[in-house]
């Protein structure tokens, strides 16, 4: 099960978001999912997005792209 970071209680969210969260719940513990996050759109209006998913990084790709820890 992934690690969840909530902005609001899950049961207060729309049913469609709850269905997507159920789909994501099969991911492993190496994933972190933030449910609800603020962002600024191109018109400088602050909005709330639904999900950000962070998962494991392939160490070879990280090294060749400069993302690996020094």
Per residue in 19-62, pLDDT (tens digit) is 999 999 999 888 999 998 899 999 999 998 899 998 886 666 65
Residue 35, token pair as written in the block? 């449910």
pLDDT for position 42: 93
Nearest to 50 by CA among 64, 68, 34, 63: 34
Question: Tell me, what DSSP letter sits at residue 18?
Answer: H
Read off the pTM: 0.70
Rounded mean pLDDT, 2-24: 91
pLDDT for position 8: 84
pLDDT for position 70: 47
Give the span between the Cα atoms of 40 and 3, in whole angstroms. 25
Give the span between the Cα atoms of 67 and 17, in whole angstroms. 31
Q: Which residue has the tokens 């049961």?
A: 11
pLDDT for position 64: 63
């Amino acid at each position: 099960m992934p690690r969840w970071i909530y902005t609001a209680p899950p049961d207060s969210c729309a049913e469609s978001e709850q269905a997507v969260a159920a789909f994501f719940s099969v991911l492993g513990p190496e994933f972190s999912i933030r449910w609800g996050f603020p962002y600024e759109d191109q018109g400088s209006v602050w909005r709330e997005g639904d999900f950000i998913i962070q998962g494991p990084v392939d160490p070879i790709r990280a090294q060749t792209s400069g993302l690996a820890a020094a």
